[in-house]
Amino acid sequence: MARSTEYRLLAGQYYQLDRHNFNSDRLTKVMHFLNTNYLKKVELKDVAAVANMHPSAFCRYFKEHSGKSLSEFINEIRIGYACRLLLEGKMTVSQICFECGFNNLSNFNRTFKKNTGYTPTSYFEEFQRK
């Protein structure tokens, strides 16, 4: 039981959304869209259409309400999912990279380290022991 609690805490900090910051209907629809589609290629025009906004206006609106750019936000969701997959230990880093919606291993590694402070391999080694 303690292991599953640690597991949720470790992977959860990157995967779970801070829902109290997204209280408008517009952002609720966007969050639902992103949670449903983050493993696919998500384009600004599609997300802006969900919010019924012009792409440039949506960028400003999203950053104002989330404190992050759309791509930063999507990457955080993807990295959280990657953390969970890493801790399961059933897939290689390369498989996880592509499973999480990244199309380039070096970009995945760089983004992972930026978001977690660890490389994917060192993250696995550090938290698999606990």
Q: How far is the C-alpha of 113 from the C-alpha of 69, rounded, in Å?
A: 18
pLDDT one-digit tens code per residue, 91-113:
999 999 999 999 999 999 999 99
The whole model's pTM is what?
0.79
Q: How do the domains of the chain map onto residue ranges? A: 19-67, 76-130
8-29: average pLDDT: 61
Average pLDDT, the chain: 86
Q: Cβ–Cβ contacts within 10 Å for residue 75, how many?
A: 24
Can you tell me the distance from the alpha carbon of 56 to that of 62, in angstroms, rounded to the nearest whole number? 10
Contacts of 41 (CB under 8 A, 6+ apart): 101
Residue 5 has a pLDDT of: 47
Q: Give tens-digit pLDDT for 51-93.
A: 999 999 999 999 999 999 999 999 999 999 999 999 999 999 9
Supply the DSSP symbol for 19: G
Fold (CATH) for 76-130: Arc Repressor Mutant, subunit A (1.10.10)
Helix crossing, 25-37 with 55-66: angle to 10°? 100
